[in-house]
Amino acid sequence: MAKIKLLIDTDIFIDALKEVKPARELFKSKAIILHCSILTKKELLSKRGLKDSERREITNLLLKTRVLRIDDQINQKYFALIRKYVEKQDMLIDYLIAATAWAKNLSLLTRNRKHFEHIEEITLSPVYEIE
């Protein structure tokens, strides 16, 4: 059986850190290969006032993902998105995340769907419910 490949956004990591069960289960699943952008890693680890224990927990989650750097392929997709969706220039970081999903042919898992649902070039993975 083929494994599911997902690009996960920062909010999914935050849910896992907050012990949201469906998010925690993602990081334990053997059926899913998790990826994240280098931007997500930077965002998580550069939080002001981050405690050593929090840094360790974030690092442990990051070790369960494939961190994707911004390469030429992602860069090209990013500029294509910027040109196409010129009216939403306030979402440049989100376009880099979307470009990563598009370039690497990954479904994007995020609870922040409103920032991505207008982007035709990517597929949004169904998101879990938080109780």
Q: How far is it, in rounded angstroms, from Cα 116 to Cα 121?
A: 10
- pTM for the model: 0.91
Tens place of pLDDT for every residue, the chain, 131 residues? 789 999 999 999 999 999 999 999 999 999 999 999 999 999 999 989 999 999 999 999 999 999 999 999 999 999 999 999 877 667 788 999 999 999 999 999 999 999 999 999 999 999 876 65
Could you tell me the CATH superfamily of domain 4-115? 5'-nuclease (3.40.50.1010)
Angle separating helix axes 92-103 and 72-84, nearest 10 degrees: 120
